[in-house]
Amino acid sequence: MNLVVRLLSSVGLLIGLWLLTVIAPEHGLPYAILVVAGLMGYEYLRINKIPENLQVFFLVVLLVSLNLVTDEIPILGILSVQWILFLVYSLFYLRLNSSQIVEQAQQSIIFSCFFFLMPAIMIHSVHIAQSISFVICAIFIVFGVDVFSYLAGLVLGGRFFDAKPFPGVSPNKTYEGLLGGVVWILLSSLFLLFYTESYLFFGLNLLFYFTAVSGDLLESAFKRHHVVKDSSSLIPGHGGFMDRFDSLMLSTPVIYLMSMFLSPRIFEPIIDLLPKGYI
């Protein structure tokens, strides 16, 4: 039953993303990234038990900052202003003591890096590539690692290997599940190599396996540290948005490299395989 709910939720998210790109071809994907980043940021702040007034301030600054991201405004400049705002707010409005200020500064850096910097890189990649299909295909590949790992672990988990690869961080993960992700990334990389004839793309695509698994483990460690099972219950069958998009968090730099060094036209042979008007 949980698998059915999980699949239905995934299909619903994909349909929602597709509708956004159809309704607003130029801005649909960046706004979808903005919304997801805001919800993930909210889950992070809630799990860390950040005071509500500070949660609101963090989220407002985050959403305004992401709205400013283009291919012309430097991301690091926006990030620097964020940190200054967080520090000034903590010092002069909240009137925190010294230990609280240090803790708040650490939280601000983590929050900005994962919930502004990573989504901002993704939005910036859309602007650079000037093609949403380019970024959507990359996102699809990353999610494939997650899906194939989950299904392989569900069907074959524990049949061939008794030991667990990461018992201290994610005890439910199995070697069979990890190998399922390897199978997906190899098949998708070979498929893309066949159609694009780009060995650079092939190599960058292989990196998605390591970034996707690392992002998943990082989020698992975060939840284990705070003794929570799911980041929230916003997505039935998955938990929260951090649970669903954790594999994408550390994959955004690879997507950025693709947008920098590969032409968006590289996807045209693949897009031609799809019915016209679907992407």
Could you tell me the pLDDT band of residue 235, with boundaries at 50, 70 and 90?
confident
In a domain, 39, yes or no: yes
Count of the separate structural domains present in the chain = 1
Closest CA to 279 of 270, 188, 194: 270
Q: Tell whether 278 is covered by a domain.
A: no
Residue 26 within any structural domain of the chain = yes
- Torsions phi, psi of 70, nearest 5? -140, -170
Residue 156: inside a domain, yes or no?
yes
105-152: pLDDT as tens digits: 788 888 888 899 899 988 888 877 666 777 777 888 888 898 899 889
For the stretch 28-76, pLDDT in tens is: 788 888 889 999 999 999 998 888 888 888 899 998 888 888 766 678 7
Q: Comparing 67-71, 116-120, 158-162, 229-233, which segment has the lowest mean pLDDT?
A: 67-71
Tokens matching residue 233: 């219950």
Residue 202 is part of which domain span? 2-271
233 secondary structure, DSSP code: S
Planar angle of CA 6, 36, 28, nearest 5 degrees = 105
pLDDT band at 272 (very low <50, low <70, confident <90, very high): low
In a domain, 277, yes or no: no
Task: Please check whether residue 35 lies inside any domain of the structure.
Answer: yes
232/94 Cα distance (integer angstroms):
27
In a domain, 279, yes or no: no
DSSP state letters, 12-57: HHHHHHHHHHHHSTTTHHHHHHHHHHHHHHHHHHHHTT--HHHHHH
Residue 173 domain flag: yes
